[in-house]
Copies of this chain bind each other. A is one copy, B any other.
């Protein structure tokens, strides 16, 4: 049996575009003499359409699209993901399904049993879990079809009472097929491969595993679809962050040699490719071409500038230098050198006149008040205002330049440097931003060394350094990671040897700045716990630090 793994980049809600892509792979598969094409989870409508699923008109459009897609399956079979209506008298109205279509006929619907509802997943919001287990038989082969999370209940303690493959194994299948919508995170690359290998070995069955690629706003999908032998070798592993097509000439009991790729957790190349795809897809799927950013001569904007140029092309990225009297000469020179290295257009606009005008306007109202953070924020917000005006006038989108460390502790100005349509490095801690800069320079200097070597500064007053207000980033990032990703309380973190005063101060900053993050731009998610939908905290609360 010839089986095609079809790893595509879908757009949510673009039913006609999605089925066109699938139809192209079906035609290619037919030309290759394939029997079966496997697409990924909710491929028809894009994973995941969120509350569009509550619209009956949207569901009907999915069924219409399925009918159209089925018309392309003469002489071949497909497994396609889509929401289907439940006919039960109780429970949610929809299933998350794998629809098996052969020779133009919708043969069966297999529903997802395990509905992830944690982190960025919220599937029980929409779907009823499956409770009925059956195989699909095609050309004499008995196939156990499951959907993503269904294969993730192997380890103890188990998150779900039911393990779908345990049930399906009783029916004596020949082959496992899993259609996935499994997002990338740098902590997840090896784990996913290991878990899928565990499934093959545990059930002594070969596994066809198909994931999607592409960015759906903040959530990035990396692909890495696989064919795994019943003995656990990864015989085929598809590309990461690229569409891919692989036709496997599979015969029962055959064992193919290990041909897996060698990516590890925290691989900087994958993080880099994830972010470039994230920017590219946000713009491409939104119909935007042009980006701009405030280029300060600091490391964060330099990395964003470089990533944006890779994603969108140098001619489409405008670096805007917005110096003030507090900007060091180096900042301007370094930002210019960066733009020249990247070959992207840049312009310099002093914020001095605007800031003076604001200060004059406010002078009578501020009488008797000493200068404080207000004046610093006026500068940051003046930059934000000028960038947004340029964005409006030129029809280009502003890229936010905040990193995860400063987003965490609120070392950023709401409506100032927090402005922008997309945060590309908002899930990279400061130390990871440095690592990314070095990776960008792997084949020669793109980001000037001066930018990498200078002490981090917001340059909102003379001789300001980040270290005046914050612990050194080497320390800050470690505490943040323990608190945010590992969800440890202050006592536990102090128990690991960190200074109590510092830990409690950092946690207090994180907690007190929920209100800022509530209004932040969407952040490309690359960790297992990014700010955004995957971390939902009360705004109004008393904390215990």
Q: Which residues of A contact B (CB under 8 A)?
A: 11-15, 17, 46, 48-52, 54-58, 61, 89-92, 117-118, 122, 124-125, 156-161, 215-217, 281-282, 285-286, 347, 349-351, 353-354, 356-358, 360-362, 365-366, 369, 372-374, 377-378, 381-382, 384-386, 388-390, 392-393, 414-415, 419, 421, 487-492, 515, 518-522, 533, 535-544
Contact = CB atoms under 8 A, between A and B. Distances in A.
A411 to B, nearest CB: 15
Contacts of A158: 89-91
Nearest to A364: B349
A362 B374 contact: no
A156 to B, nearest CB: 7
Top 10 nearest A-B pairs (CB, nearest first) are: A57-B489, A357-B357, A14-B542, A374-B392, A12-B541, A415-B415, A13-B541, A217-B539, A90-B158, A124-B124
- Count of chain copies: 2
A65 to B, nearest CB: 11
Contacts of A385: 358, 378, 381-382, 385, 415
Contacts of A491: 57
A286 B357 CA distance: 33
A361 B386 contact: yes
Contacts of A350: 361
Contacts of A390: 362, 365
A354 B361 contact: yes
16 contacts: A11-B542, A14-B542, A91-B159, A91-B160, A124-B124, A217-B540, A285-B541, A353-B357, A357-B358, A361-B386, A374-B392, A377-B389, A381-B385, A385-B385, A385-B415, A519-B519
A384 B415 contact: yes
Nearest to A86: B157
A539 B515 contact: no
A537 B50 contact: yes
Contacts of A533: 536
